Structure 1
Amino acid sequence: MRSAKYKAIITGAQRAMPVVLGYVPIGFAYGVLAGKSGISEMNTFAMSLLLFAGSAQFIAVGLFAAGAGPAAIILTTFIVNLRHLLMAASLAPFLSRWKRSTQAFFAFELTDETFALHSTKAASLETCTLEALSLNVTAQSAWVFGGVLGILAAGLIDDIRPLGLDYALSAMFIGLLVGQCLDFIRLLTAIIAGIVATTLYLLGLEQLYVIVASVISATIGLGVEQWIKQKSS
């Protein structure tokens, strides 16, 4: 029994490695930017530990540097993270037998990247609790570690853009997306989501474009899937 638990933990950590490779440099960039904006080292660390929301943390740092008030920062962070409701809702049916406390801990550490990995094995989440939690903990640990490195290096780096760290997140998403596109329906859904999200962003919908694009593309993908099933039956 103990060896099975150990194997599940190791498997979860191994599955998180693609995310770790992206989180460490992006977390580093966050730590540097937070230090440059005037946020204390303790608060920078606490944000990664207690909030753990990459894009929201970067936005919060930018708003803080611009002199925005607490209400504006909290509201903006809430809006940016609304997409997590969709992700959690899609995985919730597979977590029904988990303890409430375990579900809460899982949801707290759920991100875009870990969601992508969990969705590929959603049907087995019910019986792979330790593996799923290990994946999440490993991912957050990498993010926190990257942030700590950034905090330590904040005084040594003037501008992170020449380092190309801002592309690490995009590269990680591309890698995760490729692993998701296993059939025609998923590929079609991904293409539609990209087109809609880009169009909405260019039209000025900067906060909700991801959520709207996700709903539209998922609806179209589901419709196409049902139409194909009806044609083949």
Structure 2
Amino acid sequence: MFGYIGVGLAMGIVANTSHLSVLAVLIMSLIVYAGSAQFIIISMLLAGSPVSAIVLSTFLINSRMILMSMSIAQYFKKDSLMQNIGLGFLLTDETFALSMNKLNLTHQRLKPTWLHAANVVAYLVWAAATVVGCLLGNLITDPNQFGLDFAVVGMFIGLLYLQIITDRSKPLTTQLLVVLFVAIAMYFLMRFFPGNIALLLATLLGCSFGMVVSPK
């Protein structure tokens, strides 16, 4: 939640300095619900970009969620279609990572009620944080001076660490090898592709590499 609060405040502050109203920020957070995409949307609105370009950009930025949803769907095969749609609708990078860590403690099982609760809490905290950030926008001109832009990065480092120390199904060396491979792949892909496309490609390559090096 601290990651959501930090980035949400920063997003709200940026929105305020871009002359968006509190109501507009709240509606954007409830409908778009994607930190990086919302930052891009704000900058594109200021630049006068057409709606079609904004929609396409948002889709590309969030396309990684297709892979995450497919990965987590296998744990809800016995649940209804509507249940799965509800789970996927509010799934985020953070609740996905949290779910992967949860699997290590529940014998590779997830309950829909648990994921619904995590998703809804994250959803409400994000919306509230962006609104508060917008209200505070007149007081804070540079959110980066407080390190708020590092909040999500720090949170993911913690989640990765928890995943590595709790997952006993794979050797530590294998996990570290995959992490290193993805980091190197991302470094080189960033030279040729936009950040979000590079991230998607690095994820696919990392999955394939993990399948090759994992013990049979």
| TM-score (norm: length of structure 1) | 0.83
What does the per-residue CA deviation read over 1:79-126, in whole Å, with 9 as the maximum and x for residues that have no partner?
01110000001111111122222211211111111111112334312x
Say if 2:84 is the partner of 1:95: no
User: Is residue 9–residue 134 contact of structure 2 (8 Å, CA) maintained in 1?
Assistant: yes
Partner of 1:53: 34
Does 2:147 correspond to 1:164? yes
What pairs up with 1:34-73 in 2 under 5 angstroms?
34-73=15-54
Indicate the structure with greater helix content.
Answer: 1
Cα deviation, 1:139-190, whole Å, max 9, x if unaligned, reads 1222112111111111222221212111111111111111222433222212
Q: Which runs of no fewer than 5 residues in structure 2 stay unpaired? A: 166-171
Work out the CA distance in 2 between the residues paired with 1:121 and 1:22.
18
Q: CA deviation at 1:206?
A: 2.6
1:118 and 2:86 matched:
no
Aligned-residue offset at 1:200? 1.1
Q: 1:195 aligns with which of 184, 189, 211?
A: 184
Equivalent residue runs for 1:195-214 within 5 Å:
195-214=184-203
By how many angstroms is 1:39 displaced? 2.3
Q: Distance in 1 between matches of 2:193 and 2:62?
A: 18
Question: 2:20 and 2:26 mapped to 1: Cα distance?
Answer: 10
Backbone CA RMSD of aligned residues: 1.5
Query: In structure 1, what is the Cα distance between the partners aligned to 2:122 and 2:187?
Result: 27
State the distance in 1 between where 2:63 and 2:112 align. Answer: 25
1:130 is matched with 113
2:138 aligned residue (142, 155, 178):
155
Aligned residues: 206
In the alignment, structure 1 residue 224 sits paired with structure 2 residue 213: yes
Alignment-derived partner of residue 146 in structure 1: 129
What is the deviation of 1:218? 1.1
The whole-number CA distance in structure 1 between the counterparts of 2:29 and 2:205 is 31
When the two structures are superposed, what TM-score results if normalisation uses the length of structure 2?
0.89
Distance in 1 separating the partners of 2:200 and 2:7 = 22
> Tell me, what secondary structure is at the counterpart of 1:72?
helix
Name the % identity.
Answer: 34
Q: Work out the CA distance in 1 between the residues paired with 2:46 and 2:19.
A: 7
Q: Which amino acid aligns with 1:212?
A: L
Check whether the contact 2:87–2:112 (CA below 8 A) recurs between aligned residues. no
| Aligned mates of 1:194, 1:141 — CA distance in 2 | 32
Whole-Å Cα distance in 1 between the matches of residues 100 and 198 of structure 2? 21
